[in-house]
């Protein structure tokens, strides 16, 4: 995926929406960390564009505070002073064609020669399409003076139609190879490690299919509630906010066929293919719920039917996965923060060992712990010492903090910004992946409007593992949510009768 770490072409990063939270909390800390590691192109310049009447000094002071609070690496004044000189502010209105012309002239004067440019749309989503149009009208998409690329934040559309419209607007201004649709889950170390686990080892891939896998579970549980984001969240809900992007992207990494290389298109072809092979989701295979008290949160409509939790059962209709259920769940205000993928293998065809008193047989499980406690665990059976034939499950455990002591796992934005600067799109979603994901989620969202009774919204207590309906969804298939890396609200299920 990532090639040599440092570019020599002078490069300008232009952040639109630079007065916002994302710039302060994520983008500048990520650029700072890369700068500290000497990975940014020499001659880097970072221009923040926003409407407010700020000076360079004010902008820099604000960003310094952001770096102090949010950078994974420790803050040091010398590095900051060096970077600070490369940070500038430009006051401009995203609606104004004239302001893009002014910005273009300003950037040309600063660059005074060929330079690559990376535009970052950290704005409200309604500006994504129009901003692309304005950039093109001002000639800012032209590669004549250096590479021009653009990063677009999520949400990428709010349904299939709006995502297609946005893709059309983006493509009217930029070629696909200039476009980087960011999904920060793809920048997490552990998510990147999925491809290494599967394709840099010989052990797992032979059993990574319907012959050996019983089911796959993807959990992204959060303890945070809607907080101050109700304005956005109450319109979006968990399916748009988490499933259309993060969960389906994780699923694609787990389920895709081996790519021919680590080249961006080779990877994205396989991801798009597997997303396209997911069977349309039956509403009865979905659970949607709201945490108790959600409707009373500031900014939430008192009669809101927006789910803050969902669980889905999916099937992939291809040779590898036919008949293997994929269970996805995500919610806010849950018992623990935990993003985990569990591959549950089938039980052996015959169990000839005794189980301990009150123990159920536990199939082998591979847990990919995305966060926190990043690592992987393989659960398998052993003989209990000093018994004749009693079986007990134990874990083989890989933890980043033990295997790579002292290494601070970079924030997702650190990797993603660096890759975009280098022109490596392998961790970014292509237009067809985005549309394939919407093609799955959209009918569920409209089904909730037209046939709400097929999956009535239920509630769950704050600090729980979600509604019992989500447990029932698995039990119907003879499965149970598994706890992997830590407590994931999992249970045990005697899918095989004790001492069978």
- Cite the active site residues: 246
Instruction: Give the residue among 42, 49, 44, 47 at the shortest CA–CA distance from 18.
Output: 49
| Strand order across the 309-315 sheet | 354-355, 390-399, 375-383, 365-371, 338-345, 213-221, 325-331, 309-315, 286-291, 458-460
**What is the residue-wise DSSP string for 264-322?**
HHHHHHHHHHHHHTBPPPPGGGEEEEEETTGGGSTTS-TT----SEEEEEEEB-STTTT
Cβ proximity to ligand BG6, 222 vs 270, nearer residue = 222
**Distance from C-alpha of 233 to C-alpha of 229, rounded to nearest angstrom:** 6
Cβ proximity to ligand BG6, 10 vs 17, nearer residue = 17
Alpha-carbon distance values, 183 to 79, 154, 203, 254, 426 (Å): 28, 7, 29, 16, 11
For the bound state, the minimum distance from the C-beta of residue 138 to ligand BG6, rounded and expressed in Å, comes to: 30
Residues composing the chain: 500
For the bound state, the minimum distance from the C-beta of residue 195 to ligand BG6, rounded and expressed in Å, comes to: 19
For the bound state, the minimum distance from the C-beta of residue 300 to ligand BG6, rounded and expressed in Å, comes to: 14
Using DSSP's 3-state secondary structure scheme, residue 385 falls into coil
Instruction: Give the residue among 290, 340, 294, 307 at the shortest CA–CA distance from 241.
Output: 307
For the bound state, the minimum distance from the C-beta of residue 399 to ligand BG6, rounded and expressed in Å, comes to: 19
Beta pairing, strands 213-221 & 338-345: antiparallel
* Sequence-ordered strand ranges (E) for 122-194: 148-152, 179-181
Cβ proximity to ligand BG6, 222 vs 344, nearer residue = 222
Using DSSP's 3-state secondary structure scheme, residue 221 falls into strand
Residue nearest to ligand BG6 (CB): 241
For the bound state, the minimum distance from the C-beta of residue 154 to ligand BG6, rounded and expressed in Å, comes to: 6
Cβ proximity to ligand BG6, 84 vs 241, nearer residue = 241
Number of CB atoms found within 10 A of residue 303's CB: 6
For the bound state, the minimum distance from the C-beta of residue 243 to ligand BG6, rounded and expressed in Å, comes to: 11
**Distance from C-alpha of 33 to C-alpha of 288, rounded to nearest angstrom:** 39
**Distance from C-alpha of 471 to C-alpha of 476, rounded to nearest angstrom:** 9
Number of CB atoms found within 10 A of residue 463's CB: 12
Burial of 203 from C-beta contacts in 10 A (0-12 / 13-18 / 19+):
exposed
Cβ proximity to ligand BG6, 184 vs 329, nearer residue = 184
Cβ proximity to ligand BG6, 31 vs 226, nearer residue = 226
Q: Where are the alpha helices (DSSP H) in 181-337?
A: 189-199, 230-238, 248-255, 264-276
Instruction: Give the residue among 268, 264, 273, 309 at the shortest CA–CA distance from 291.
Output: 309
Query: Before 439, cis peptide (omega within 30)?
Result: no
For the bound state, the minimum distance from the C-beta of residue 178 to ligand BG6, rounded and expressed in Å, comes to: 23
Cβ proximity to ligand BG6, 46 vs 334, nearer residue = 334
Cβ proximity to ligand BG6, 227 vs 280, nearer residue = 227
Sign of CA dihedral 400, 404, 409, 414: negative
Binding site for ligand BG6 (CB under 6 A): 154, 184, 222, 241, 339
Instruction: Give the list of residues 6+ apart from residue 82 with CB closer than 8 angstroms, or none.
Output: 35
For the bound state, the minimum distance from the C-beta of residue 280 to ligand BG6, rounded and expressed in Å, comes to: 25
For the bound state, the minimum distance from the C-beta of residue 155 to ligand BG6, rounded and expressed in Å, comes to: 8
First and final C-alpha spacing in the chain: 47
Cβ proximity to ligand BG6, 107 vs 368, nearer residue = 368
- What backbone phi and psi angles, to 5 degrees, belong to 77? -65, -35
**Distance from C-alpha of 493 to C-alpha of 90, rounded to nearest angstrom:** 60
Number of CB atoms found within 10 A of residue 378's CB: 17
């Amino acid at each position: 995926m990532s090639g040599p770490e440092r570019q020599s072409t002078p490069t300008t990063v232009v952040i639109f929406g630079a007065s916002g939270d994302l710039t302060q909390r994520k983008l500048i800390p990520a650029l700072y960390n890369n700068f500290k590691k000497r990975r940014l192109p020499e001659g880097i310049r970072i221009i923040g564009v926003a409407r407010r009447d700020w000076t360079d000094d004010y902008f820099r002071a604000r960003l310094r505070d952001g770096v102090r609070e949010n950078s994974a690496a420790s803050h040091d004044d010398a590095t900051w002073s060096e970077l600070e000189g490369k940070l500038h502010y430009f006051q401009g209105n995203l609606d104004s064609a004239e302001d893009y012309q002014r910005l273009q002239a300003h950037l040309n004067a600063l660059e005074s020669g060929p330079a690559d440019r990376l535009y970052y749309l950290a704005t409200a989503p309604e500006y994504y399409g129009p901003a692309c149009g304005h950039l093109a009208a001002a000639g800012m998409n032209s590669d004549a003076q250096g590479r021009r690329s653009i990063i677009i934040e999520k949400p990428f559309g709010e349904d299939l139609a709006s995502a297609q419209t946005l893709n059309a607007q983006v493509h009217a201004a930029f070629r696909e190879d200039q476009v980087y649709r960011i999904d920060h889950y793809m920048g997490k170390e552990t998510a990147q490690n999925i491809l290494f686990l599967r394709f840099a080892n010989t052990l797992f891939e032979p059993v990574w299919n319907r012959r050996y896998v019983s089911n796959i579970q993807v959990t992204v549980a959060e303890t945070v509630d809607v907080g101050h984001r109700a304005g956005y969240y109450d319109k979006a809900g968990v399916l748009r906010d988490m499933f259309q992007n993060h969960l389906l992207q994780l699923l694609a990494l787990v389920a895709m066929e081996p790519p021919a290389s680590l080249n961006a298109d080779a990877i994205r072809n396989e991801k798009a293919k597997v997303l396209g092979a997911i069977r349309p989701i039956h509403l009865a295979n979905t659970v949607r719920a709201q945490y108790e008290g959600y409707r009373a949160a500031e900014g939430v409509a008192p009669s809101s039917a927006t789910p803050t939790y969902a669980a889905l059962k999916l099937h992939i209709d291809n040779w590898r996965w036919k008949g293997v259920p994929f269970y996805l769940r995500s919610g806010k205000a849950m018992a623990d923060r935990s993003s985990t993928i569990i591959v549950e293998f089938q039980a052996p065809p015959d169990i000839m060992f005794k189980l301990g008193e009150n123990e159920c047989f536990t199939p082998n499980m591979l847990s990919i712990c995305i966060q926190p406690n990043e690592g992987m665990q393989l659960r398998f059976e052993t003989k209990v010492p000093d018994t004749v034939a009693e079986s007990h499950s134990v874990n083989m455990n890989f933890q980043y903090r033990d295997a790579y002591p002292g290494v601070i796992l970079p924030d997702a934005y650190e990797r993603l910004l660096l890759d975009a600067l280098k022109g490596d799109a392998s961790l970014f979603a292509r237009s067809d992946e985005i549309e394939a994901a919407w093609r799955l989620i959209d009918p569920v969202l409209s089904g909730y409007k037209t046939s709400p009774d097929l999956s009535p919204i239920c509630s769950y207590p704050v600090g729980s593992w979600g509604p019992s309906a989500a447990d029932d969804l698995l039990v119907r298939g003879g499965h149970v949510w598994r706890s992997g890396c830590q407590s994931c609200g999992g249970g045990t299920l005697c899918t095989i009768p004790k001492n069978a």
